[in-house]
């Protein structure tokens, strides 16, 4: 029971920090939109989406936790310091990167001589935030990994890169459907597709942080 409570606490903390990091990165790159919309804050109520939170709680009952926070509004036209695609890629990467930083901080605390129950609480936080980071780095819209990929491709000034960028942009409208279909198929099949993709880096990162 304590593991579930710890997981929920750190998932919601991770989502809050994740969305704040998007807002902070956009603000630093010249877009004041998140600040004007009240998203440059660590108040969870500004970032937690009611439906996304409910989805996480319900899906957790079935053995996996899939949820989301409120997307941070960003106006790409306000990005002045970098090419738009590169700037959007960095703003997208800031979210998962913040989860990895939080996981690293929790792992550092984990190595202090603490009561066993509290160490388990911290371990749940490491697992939750590494999982959030890796899932969001999948290169599928609307996940952050898609914008990171587009930012990388958009930084190359070649015809090949331009054509690839344009072709991938056409997938953006269908991304949520593809993602939910993948999650549904993953739940039905005896072998987890997402587990096969995310499992190895998850185990590698958590083992490095907690060893």
Residues serving a catalytic function are: 19
* Residue 69 main-chain phi, psi, to 5 deg: -100, 180
- Residue 202 burial (CB < 10 Å; 0-12/13-18/19+)? middle
Q: How far apart are CA 104 and CA 98, in angstroms?
A: 10
Query: What does the DSSP assignment read for 92-129?
Result: HHHHHHHHHHHHHHHHHHHTSS--HHHHHHHHHHHHHH
């Amino acid at each position: 029971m304590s593991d579930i409570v710890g997981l929920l606490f750190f998932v919601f903390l991770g989502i809050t920090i994740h969305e704040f990091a998007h807002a902070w990165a956009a603000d630093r790159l010249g877009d004041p939109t998140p600040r004007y919309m009240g998203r440059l804050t660590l108040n969870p109520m500004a970032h937690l989406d009611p439906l996304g939170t409910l989805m996480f709680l319900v899906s957790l009952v079935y053995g996996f936790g899939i949820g989301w926070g409120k997307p941070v509004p960003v106006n790409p036209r306000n990005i002045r310091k970098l090419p738009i695609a590169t700037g959007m890629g960095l703003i997208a990467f800031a979210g998962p990167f913040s989860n990895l930083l939080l996981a690293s901080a929790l792992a550092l605390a984990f190595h202090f001589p603490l009561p066993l129950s509290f160490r388990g609480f911290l371990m749940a936080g490491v697992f939750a935030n590494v999982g959030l980071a890796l899932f969001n780095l999948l290169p599928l819209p609307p996940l952050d990994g898609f914008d990171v990929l587009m930012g990388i491709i958009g930084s190359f000034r070649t015809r090949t890169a331009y054509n690839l960028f344009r072709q991938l942009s056409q997938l953006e409208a269908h991304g949520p459907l593809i993602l939910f279909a993948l999650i549904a198929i993953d739940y039905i099949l005896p072998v987890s597709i997402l587990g096969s993709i995310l499992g190895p880096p998850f185990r590698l990162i958590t083992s490095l942080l907690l060893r």
